[in-house]
Amino acid sequence: MGTQTSPENCTPPKDERTAKEKAIDDWLPITSSRKAKWWYSAFHNVTAMVGAGVLSLPYAMSELGWGPGIAVMTLSWIITVYTLWQMVELHEMVPGKRFDRYHELGQHAFGEKLGLWIVVPQQLLVEVSLNIVYMVTGGNSLKKFHDVICEGKCKDIKLTYFIMIFASVHFFLSQLPNFNSISGISLAAAVMSLSYSTIAWGASLQKGKADNVDYSLRASTTTGQVFGFLGGLGDMAFSYSGHNVVLEIQATIPSTPDKPSKKPMWKGVMVAYVIIAACYMPVAMIGYWVFGKDVDDNILITLNKPKWLIAMANMMVVVHVIGSYQVYAMPVFDMMESLLVKKLKFSPGLKLRLISRSLYVAFTMFVGITFPFFGGLIGFFGGIAFAPTTYFLPCIIWIIICKPKRFSLSWFSNWTCIVLGVILMVLAPIGGLRQIILSAKTYKFYS
Protein backbone atom coordinates (compact mmCIF):
# COMPACT_ATOMS: atom_id res chain seq x y z
CA MET A 1 0.00 0.00 0.00
CA GLY A 2 1.23 3.50 -0.84
CA THR A 3 1.78 5.90 2.00
CA GLN A 4 -0.69 8.74 2.32
CA THR A 5 0.73 12.20 1.81
CA SER A 6 -0.24 14.70 4.45
CA PRO A 7 -1.10 18.27 3.34
CA GLU A 8 2.13 19.47 4.98
CA ASN A 9 4.18 17.22 2.70
CA CYS A 10 2.59 18.85 -0.34
CA THR A 11 4.35 22.14 0.37
CA PRO A 12 7.79 22.27 -1.19
CA PRO A 13 10.70 22.30 1.26
CA LYS A 14 11.78 25.76 2.46
CA ASP A 15 15.11 25.77 0.61
CA GLU A 16 13.30 24.76 -2.62
CA ARG A 17 10.89 27.69 -2.21
CA THR A 18 13.83 29.99 -1.56
CA ALA A 19 15.54 28.73 -4.72
CA LYS A 20 12.36 29.49 -6.67
CA GLU A 21 12.14 32.99 -5.15
CA LYS A 22 15.82 33.55 -5.98
CA ALA A 23 15.21 32.48 -9.58
CA ILE A 24 12.36 35.03 -9.83
CA ASP A 25 14.56 37.77 -8.29
CA ASP A 26 17.29 36.92 -10.79
CA TRP A 27 14.75 37.39 -13.58
CA LEU A 28 13.07 40.61 -12.39
CA PRO A 29 14.59 43.79 -13.92
CA ILE A 30 15.61 45.55 -10.68
CA THR A 31 17.36 42.65 -8.92
CA SER A 32 18.67 40.63 -11.88
CA SER A 33 22.04 42.43 -12.11
CA ARG A 34 24.15 44.00 -9.34
CA LYS A 35 27.27 44.84 -11.32
CA ALA A 36 26.80 48.60 -11.80
CA LYS A 37 29.66 51.08 -11.25
CA TRP A 38 29.32 54.50 -9.55
CA TRP A 39 29.22 56.32 -12.88
CA TYR A 40 26.13 54.26 -13.92
CA SER A 41 24.41 55.99 -10.99
CA ALA A 42 25.61 59.38 -12.30
CA PHE A 43 24.19 59.09 -15.79
CA HIS A 44 21.02 57.20 -14.75
CA ASN A 45 20.29 60.07 -12.32
CA VAL A 46 21.03 62.76 -14.92
CA THR A 47 18.79 60.96 -17.44
CA ALA A 48 16.05 60.59 -14.82
CA MET A 49 16.19 64.21 -13.61
CA VAL A 50 17.08 66.40 -16.58
CA GLY A 51 13.95 65.57 -18.49
CA ALA A 52 12.37 67.75 -21.10
CA GLY A 53 11.20 69.82 -18.12
CA VAL A 54 14.47 71.78 -18.35
CA LEU A 55 13.17 73.37 -21.58
CA SER A 56 10.07 74.68 -19.79
CA LEU A 57 12.07 76.39 -17.00
CA PRO A 58 12.24 79.82 -18.75
CA TYR A 59 8.42 79.58 -19.10
CA ALA A 60 8.14 78.77 -15.37
CA MET A 61 10.33 81.83 -14.65
CA SER A 62 7.92 83.98 -16.71
CA GLU A 63 5.07 82.80 -14.46
CA LEU A 64 6.99 83.29 -11.20
CA GLY A 65 9.14 86.36 -11.94
CA TRP A 66 12.86 86.88 -11.20
CA GLY A 67 12.92 86.74 -7.38
CA PRO A 68 10.48 83.87 -6.69
CA GLY A 69 11.73 81.94 -9.75
CA ILE A 70 15.39 81.89 -8.63
CA ALA A 71 14.36 81.24 -5.00
CA VAL A 72 12.11 78.28 -5.87
CA MET A 73 14.70 76.72 -8.19
CA THR A 74 17.57 77.06 -5.69
CA LEU A 75 15.45 75.85 -2.76
CA SER A 76 14.23 72.86 -4.82
CA TRP A 77 17.84 71.92 -5.66
CA ILE A 78 18.89 72.06 -1.97
CA ILE A 79 15.83 70.18 -0.65
CA THR A 80 16.02 67.43 -3.27
CA VAL A 81 19.76 66.87 -2.70
CA TYR A 82 18.94 66.42 1.00
CA THR A 83 15.98 64.05 0.46
CA LEU A 84 17.95 62.05 -2.12
CA TRP A 85 20.83 61.68 0.37
CA GLN A 86 18.32 60.32 2.90
CA MET A 87 17.08 57.69 0.45
CA VAL A 88 20.63 56.60 -0.42
CA GLU A 89 21.37 56.22 3.33
CA LEU A 90 18.09 54.35 3.99
CA HIS A 91 18.76 51.79 1.23
CA GLU A 92 20.79 49.59 3.63
CA MET A 93 19.56 50.93 6.95
CA VAL A 94 18.75 47.39 8.17
CA PRO A 95 21.93 45.24 8.41
CA GLY A 96 21.94 42.40 5.89
CA LYS A 97 18.91 43.72 3.98
CA ARG A 98 18.59 46.03 0.96
CA PHE A 99 15.49 48.07 0.15
CA ASP A 100 15.73 47.60 -3.61
CA ARG A 101 12.43 49.33 -4.34
CA TYR A 102 10.76 52.50 -3.05
CA HIS A 103 7.70 50.56 -1.84
CA GLU A 104 9.90 48.12 0.16
CA LEU A 105 11.27 51.09 2.11
CA GLY A 106 7.71 52.37 2.53
CA GLN A 107 6.59 48.97 3.84
CA HIS A 108 9.43 48.96 6.39
CA ALA A 109 8.38 52.42 7.63
CA PHE A 110 4.57 52.26 7.48
CA GLY A 111 3.87 48.52 7.68
CA GLU A 112 3.42 45.75 5.11
CA LYS A 113 0.02 46.78 3.69
CA LEU A 114 -0.11 50.53 4.44
CA GLY A 115 3.39 51.01 2.99
CA LEU A 116 2.25 49.53 -0.33
CA TRP A 117 -0.88 51.73 -0.45
CA ILE A 118 1.07 54.90 0.40
CA VAL A 119 4.02 54.44 -1.97
CA VAL A 120 2.93 52.36 -4.99
CA PRO A 121 0.07 54.60 -6.26
CA GLN A 122 2.25 57.73 -5.98
CA GLN A 123 5.29 56.08 -7.55
CA LEU A 124 3.21 54.66 -10.41
CA LEU A 125 1.53 58.03 -10.97
CA VAL A 126 4.95 59.68 -11.30
CA GLU A 127 6.48 57.05 -13.56
CA VAL A 128 3.48 56.46 -15.81
CA SER A 129 2.69 60.19 -16.12
CA LEU A 130 6.33 60.87 -16.99
CA ASN A 131 6.29 58.18 -19.65
CA ILE A 132 3.15 59.77 -21.14
CA VAL A 133 4.72 63.25 -21.06
CA TYR A 134 7.87 61.84 -22.70
CA MET A 135 5.72 60.36 -25.47
CA VAL A 136 4.33 63.87 -26.12
CA THR A 137 7.78 65.48 -25.83
CA GLY A 138 9.39 62.96 -28.18
CA GLY A 139 6.60 63.48 -30.73
CA ASN A 140 6.76 67.28 -30.37
CA SER A 141 10.54 67.34 -30.86
CA LEU A 142 10.35 65.08 -33.93
CA LYS A 143 7.66 67.38 -35.39
CA LYS A 144 9.75 70.46 -34.63
CA PHE A 145 12.78 68.81 -36.31
CA HIS A 146 10.66 68.02 -39.38
CA ASP A 147 9.20 71.55 -39.53
CA VAL A 148 12.59 73.27 -39.13
CA ILE A 149 14.25 71.12 -41.82
CA CYS A 150 11.34 71.45 -44.27
CA GLU A 151 10.83 75.24 -43.84
CA GLY A 152 7.18 74.90 -44.96
CA LYS A 153 8.01 73.02 -48.19
CA CYS A 154 6.90 69.56 -46.97
CA LYS A 155 3.41 68.24 -46.33
CA ASP A 156 2.19 69.03 -42.82
CA ILE A 157 2.13 65.88 -40.67
CA LYS A 158 -0.04 65.52 -37.55
CA LEU A 159 1.60 65.37 -34.12
CA THR A 160 -0.21 62.03 -33.63
CA TYR A 161 1.98 60.34 -36.26
CA PHE A 162 5.18 61.72 -34.74
CA ILE A 163 4.17 60.34 -31.33
CA MET A 164 3.57 56.95 -33.00
CA ILE A 165 7.02 57.08 -34.66
CA PHE A 166 8.60 57.89 -31.28
CA ALA A 167 6.67 55.05 -29.60
CA SER A 168 7.78 52.51 -32.20
CA VAL A 169 11.37 52.70 -30.84
CA HIS A 170 10.15 51.73 -27.37
CA PHE A 171 8.41 48.56 -28.52
CA PHE A 172 11.96 47.27 -29.19
CA LEU A 173 13.91 48.96 -26.36
CA SER A 174 11.41 47.94 -23.69
CA GLN A 175 12.48 44.30 -24.21
CA LEU A 176 15.93 45.02 -22.69
CA PRO A 177 15.92 42.99 -19.46
CA ASN A 178 17.24 45.32 -16.71
CA PHE A 179 18.78 48.66 -15.67
CA ASN A 180 22.34 47.65 -16.57
CA SER A 181 21.27 46.65 -20.09
CA ILE A 182 19.98 50.20 -20.73
CA SER A 183 23.15 51.88 -19.36
CA GLY A 184 24.44 52.69 -22.89
CA ILE A 185 21.12 54.34 -23.83
CA SER A 186 21.12 56.18 -20.49
CA LEU A 187 24.69 57.47 -21.05
CA ALA A 188 23.75 58.75 -24.53
CA ALA A 189 20.66 60.40 -23.02
CA ALA A 190 22.70 62.10 -20.25
CA VAL A 191 25.19 63.47 -22.81
CA MET A 192 22.29 64.72 -24.96
CA SER A 193 20.60 66.46 -22.02
CA LEU A 194 23.77 68.44 -21.27
CA SER A 195 24.19 69.18 -25.01
CA TYR A 196 20.69 70.46 -25.76
CA SER A 197 20.60 72.45 -22.50
CA THR A 198 23.85 74.13 -23.59
CA ILE A 199 22.39 74.79 -27.06
CA ALA A 200 19.21 76.25 -25.47
CA TRP A 201 21.06 78.81 -23.33
CA GLY A 202 23.95 79.30 -25.80
CA ALA A 203 21.64 80.08 -28.75
CA SER A 204 19.58 82.39 -26.49
CA LEU A 205 22.72 84.24 -25.41
CA GLN A 206 23.92 84.52 -29.01
CA LYS A 207 20.51 85.88 -30.05
CA GLY A 208 20.80 88.56 -27.37
CA LYS A 209 18.15 90.33 -25.34
CA ALA A 210 14.93 90.79 -27.34
CA ASP A 211 13.72 94.32 -28.17
CA ASN A 212 11.23 95.71 -25.62
CA VAL A 213 11.64 92.59 -23.46
CA ASP A 214 9.04 92.52 -20.69
CA TYR A 215 9.76 90.86 -17.32
CA SER A 216 6.31 91.43 -15.81
CA LEU A 217 4.33 88.30 -14.95
CA ARG A 218 3.05 86.37 -17.95
CA ALA A 219 -0.69 86.80 -17.36
CA SER A 220 -2.37 90.21 -17.55
CA THR A 221 -5.19 89.55 -15.04
CA THR A 222 -4.72 88.95 -11.31
CA THR A 223 -6.52 85.57 -11.57
CA GLY A 224 -4.26 84.54 -14.45
CA GLN A 225 -1.16 85.62 -12.52
CA VAL A 226 -2.18 83.59 -9.44
CA PHE A 227 -2.92 80.45 -11.48
CA GLY A 228 0.23 80.99 -13.55
CA PHE A 229 2.31 81.27 -10.38
CA LEU A 230 0.90 77.95 -9.14
CA GLY A 231 1.58 76.35 -12.55
CA GLY A 232 5.16 77.65 -12.42
CA LEU A 233 5.62 75.93 -9.04
CA GLY A 234 4.48 72.66 -10.66
CA ASP A 235 6.96 73.11 -13.53
CA MET A 236 9.79 73.56 -11.03
CA ALA A 237 8.68 70.50 -9.01
CA PHE A 238 8.63 68.42 -12.20
CA SER A 239 12.32 69.21 -12.76
CA TYR A 240 13.39 67.14 -9.73
CA SER A 241 11.80 63.72 -10.05
CA GLY A 242 14.70 61.24 -9.90
CA HIS A 243 13.82 60.10 -6.37
CA ASN A 244 11.21 57.74 -7.80
CA VAL A 245 13.90 55.52 -9.31
CA VAL A 246 16.85 56.17 -6.96
CA LEU A 247 16.52 53.01 -4.81
CA GLU A 248 16.03 50.93 -7.94
CA ILE A 249 19.22 52.44 -9.44
CA GLN A 250 21.12 51.80 -6.18
CA ALA A 251 19.88 48.18 -6.21
CA THR A 252 22.07 47.56 -9.28
CA ILE A 253 25.30 48.49 -7.41
CA PRO A 254 27.16 45.66 -5.61
CA SER A 255 27.35 45.91 -1.82
CA THR A 256 29.39 44.27 0.97
CA PRO A 257 29.69 45.16 4.70
CA ASP A 258 33.13 46.72 3.96
CA LYS A 259 31.98 48.52 0.79
CA PRO A 260 28.30 49.46 1.10
CA SER A 261 26.51 50.58 -2.06
CA LYS A 262 25.76 54.03 -0.59
CA LYS A 263 29.34 55.27 -1.16
CA PRO A 264 29.51 54.76 -4.96
CA MET A 265 25.82 55.69 -5.24
CA TRP A 266 26.32 59.02 -3.45
CA LYS A 267 29.40 59.77 -5.56
CA GLY A 268 27.29 59.29 -8.69
CA VAL A 269 24.45 61.39 -7.27
CA MET A 270 26.75 64.33 -6.50
CA VAL A 271 28.22 64.27 -10.03
CA ALA A 272 24.65 64.11 -11.38
CA TYR A 273 23.52 67.09 -9.27
CA VAL A 274 26.44 69.25 -10.44
CA ILE A 275 25.46 68.44 -14.07
CA ILE A 276 21.79 69.16 -13.23
CA ALA A 277 22.70 72.63 -11.87
CA ALA A 278 24.81 73.26 -15.01
CA CYS A 279 21.76 72.42 -17.14
CA TYR A 280 18.96 74.10 -15.16
CA MET A 281 20.32 77.42 -13.94
CA PRO A 282 21.65 78.83 -17.26
CA VAL A 283 18.64 77.63 -19.31
CA ALA A 284 16.11 79.12 -16.88
CA MET A 285 17.87 82.45 -16.29
CA ILE A 286 19.32 83.17 -19.76
CA GLY A 287 16.13 81.98 -21.51
CA TYR A 288 14.01 84.31 -19.36
CA TRP A 289 16.53 87.19 -19.62
CA VAL A 290 16.45 87.02 -23.45
CA PHE A 291 12.70 86.54 -24.09
CA GLY A 292 10.97 87.70 -20.89
CA LYS A 293 7.31 86.81 -20.65
CA ASP A 294 7.04 85.99 -24.39
CA VAL A 295 8.96 82.70 -24.06
CA ASP A 296 7.11 79.48 -25.10
CA ASP A 297 6.56 76.50 -22.80
CA ASN A 298 9.48 74.85 -24.64
CA ILE A 299 12.36 77.29 -25.26
CA LEU A 300 13.46 75.49 -28.44
CA ILE A 301 10.12 76.49 -30.01
CA THR A 302 10.87 80.18 -29.28
CA LEU A 303 14.34 79.85 -30.83
CA ASN A 304 14.08 79.55 -34.61
CA LYS A 305 17.65 80.34 -35.73
CA PRO A 306 20.23 79.08 -36.57
CA LYS A 307 18.02 76.40 -38.14
CA TRP A 308 20.59 73.58 -38.23
CA LEU A 309 21.38 74.08 -34.53
CA ILE A 310 17.72 74.09 -33.44
CA ALA A 311 17.06 70.99 -35.60
CA MET A 312 20.04 69.25 -33.96
CA ALA A 313 18.89 70.26 -30.46
CA ASN A 314 15.43 68.81 -31.13
CA MET A 315 16.97 65.48 -32.21
CA MET A 316 19.06 65.54 -29.01
CA VAL A 317 15.84 65.95 -27.02
CA VAL A 318 14.43 62.91 -28.87
CA VAL A 319 17.49 60.77 -27.95
CA HIS A 320 17.35 62.01 -24.37
CA VAL A 321 13.65 61.28 -23.81
CA ILE A 322 14.16 57.80 -25.34
CA GLY A 323 16.62 57.15 -22.47
CA SER A 324 14.44 58.87 -19.85
CA TYR A 325 11.39 56.85 -20.90
CA GLN A 326 13.34 53.61 -20.37
CA VAL A 327 14.75 54.68 -16.97
CA TYR A 328 11.23 55.45 -15.66
CA ALA A 329 9.61 52.45 -17.37
CA MET A 330 12.00 49.92 -15.79
CA PRO A 331 10.51 50.13 -12.23
CA VAL A 332 7.01 49.92 -13.79
CA PHE A 333 8.05 46.78 -15.69
CA ASP A 334 9.44 45.41 -12.42
CA MET A 335 6.11 46.02 -10.62
CA MET A 336 4.08 44.51 -13.47
CA GLU A 337 6.29 41.44 -13.75
CA SER A 338 6.42 40.95 -9.94
CA LEU A 339 2.61 41.00 -9.85
CA LEU A 340 2.24 38.64 -12.84
CA VAL A 341 4.84 36.12 -11.62
CA LYS A 342 4.51 36.26 -7.82
CA LYS A 343 0.77 36.89 -7.36
CA LEU A 344 -0.85 35.65 -10.58
CA LYS A 345 1.63 32.75 -10.95
CA PHE A 346 2.54 33.33 -14.62
CA SER A 347 5.75 31.66 -15.78
CA PRO A 348 8.64 34.13 -16.13
CA GLY A 349 9.96 34.29 -19.67
CA LEU A 350 10.26 36.12 -22.96
CA LYS A 351 6.59 35.70 -23.95
CA LEU A 352 5.31 37.30 -20.72
CA ARG A 353 7.80 40.17 -21.05
CA LEU A 354 6.97 40.77 -24.72
CA ILE A 355 3.20 40.98 -24.15
CA SER A 356 3.16 42.94 -20.85
CA ARG A 357 5.78 45.53 -21.83
CA SER A 358 4.34 46.07 -25.33
CA LEU A 359 0.88 46.68 -23.83
CA TYR A 360 2.38 49.26 -21.46
CA VAL A 361 4.16 51.13 -24.29
CA ALA A 362 0.93 51.06 -26.34
CA PHE A 363 -1.02 52.46 -23.36
CA THR A 364 1.37 55.40 -22.79
CA MET A 365 1.36 56.12 -26.54
CA PHE A 366 -2.46 56.15 -26.67
CA VAL A 367 -2.80 58.53 -23.69
CA GLY A 368 -0.04 60.79 -25.08
CA ILE A 369 -1.82 61.02 -28.45
CA THR A 370 -5.15 61.74 -26.74
CA PHE A 371 -3.95 64.46 -24.33
CA PRO A 372 -0.85 66.23 -25.73
CA PHE A 373 -1.11 69.32 -23.43
CA PHE A 374 2.63 69.46 -22.74
CA GLY A 375 2.92 72.48 -20.39
CA GLY A 376 -0.26 71.79 -18.42
CA LEU A 377 0.59 68.13 -17.96
CA ILE A 378 3.95 69.05 -16.41
CA GLY A 379 2.37 71.54 -13.98
CA PHE A 380 -0.43 69.20 -12.96
CA PHE A 381 1.61 66.01 -12.44
CA GLY A 382 4.52 68.03 -11.06
CA GLY A 383 2.47 69.10 -8.09
CA ILE A 384 0.21 66.16 -7.41
CA ALA A 385 2.71 63.31 -7.63
CA PHE A 386 6.29 64.60 -7.67
CA ALA A 387 6.03 66.73 -4.53
CA PRO A 388 5.20 63.81 -2.18
CA THR A 389 7.71 61.26 -3.53
CA THR A 390 10.52 63.82 -3.96
CA TYR A 391 10.04 66.55 -1.36
CA PHE A 392 8.48 65.05 1.76
CA LEU A 393 7.88 61.27 1.73
CA PRO A 394 11.64 60.54 2.26
CA CYS A 395 11.53 62.94 5.27
CA ILE A 396 8.51 61.20 6.82
CA ILE A 397 10.21 57.80 6.36
CA TRP A 398 13.44 59.19 7.88
CA ILE A 399 11.57 60.50 10.96
CA ILE A 400 9.80 57.14 11.45
CA ILE A 401 12.91 54.96 11.00
CA CYS A 402 15.75 57.15 12.38
CA LYS A 403 13.69 58.98 15.05
CA PRO A 404 15.77 62.21 15.16
CA LYS A 405 15.75 64.02 18.53
CA ARG A 406 12.97 66.59 18.82
CA PHE A 407 14.06 70.14 17.88
CA SER A 408 17.42 68.84 16.59
CA LEU A 409 18.76 70.08 13.22
CA SER A 410 17.64 66.85 11.49
CA TRP A 411 14.14 67.14 13.03
CA PHE A 412 13.80 70.80 11.91
CA SER A 413 15.17 70.10 8.42
CA ASN A 414 12.75 67.24 7.84
CA TRP A 415 9.69 69.09 9.12
CA THR A 416 10.58 72.14 6.98
CA CYS A 417 10.76 69.90 3.87
CA ILE A 418 7.46 68.23 4.82
CA VAL A 419 5.62 71.57 5.24
CA LEU A 420 7.02 73.03 1.99
CA GLY A 421 6.31 69.78 0.12
CA VAL A 422 2.68 69.62 1.29
CA ILE A 423 2.13 73.28 0.27
CA LEU A 424 3.61 72.46 -3.16
CA MET A 425 1.44 69.35 -3.52
CA VAL A 426 -1.75 71.30 -2.74
CA LEU A 427 -1.07 74.46 -4.79
CA ALA A 428 0.87 73.39 -7.89
CA PRO A 429 -1.73 71.08 -9.55
CA ILE A 430 -4.32 73.91 -9.53
CA GLY A 431 -2.32 75.99 -12.02
CA GLY A 432 -1.56 73.01 -14.24
CA LEU A 433 -5.20 71.87 -14.26
CA ARG A 434 -6.36 75.34 -15.31
CA GLN A 435 -3.85 75.31 -18.19
CA ILE A 436 -5.11 71.87 -19.31
CA ILE A 437 -8.72 73.19 -19.22
CA LEU A 438 -7.77 76.28 -21.29
CA SER A 439 -5.93 74.08 -23.83
CA ALA A 440 -8.83 71.63 -23.98
CA LYS A 441 -11.28 74.38 -25.04
CA THR A 442 -9.55 74.78 -28.41
CA TYR A 443 -8.31 71.21 -28.78
CA LYS A 444 -9.78 68.68 -31.22
CA PHE A 445 -9.11 65.00 -30.45
CA TYR A 446 -6.57 63.30 -32.76
CA SER A 447 -6.30 66.39 -34.95
Q: Provide the residue-wise pLDDT of the chain in tens; the chain has 447 residues.
A: 444 444 444 444 444 457 777 788 778 888 777 788 888 888 888 888 876 678 788 888 888 888 888 988 888 889 889 999 999 999 988 887 888 889 899 999 999 899 899 888 888 888 888 888 889 889 988 988 888 888 777 788 888 899 999 999 999 999 988 888 888 898 999 899 888 888 888 888 887 777 787 788 877 788 878 877 877 777 776 677 778 888 888 988 988 888 888 899 999 999 999 998 888 999 999 988 888 888 877 777 777 667 788 788 889 889 999 999 999 899 999 999 988 988 888 888 889 899 999 999 999 999 888 877 655 566 566 567 777 888 889 999 999 999 999 889 999 999 999 998 888 888 877 766 776 777 667 666 665
Q: Is residue 264 part of a domain?
A: yes
Q: Is residue 36 part of a domain?
A: no
Beta carbons within 10 angstroms of residue 213's beta carbon:
14
Distance CA 32, CA 257 (A): 20
Could you tell me the CA-to-CA distances from 210 to 154, 213, 307, 308, 377 in Å, in that order? 30, 5, 18, 21, 28
CATH of the domain at 120: 1.20.1740.10
**Total domain count for the chain?**
1
Q: Is residue 289 part of a domain?
A: yes
Distance CA 314, CA 146 (A): 10
Q: Is residue 204 part of a domain?
A: yes
Q: Is residue 213 part of a domain?
A: yes
Question: Is the backbone peptide bond immediately before 404 cis, with ω within 30 degrees of 0?
Answer: no
Q: Global pTM?
A: 0.85
Q: Is residue 31 part of a domain?
A: no
Q: Is residue 62 part of a domain?
A: yes
Q: Is residue 15 part of a domain?
A: no
Domain that holds residue 187: 45-442
- DSSP of 163-198, one letter per residue? HHHHHHHHHHHTTS-SGGGGHHHHHHHHHHHHHHHH
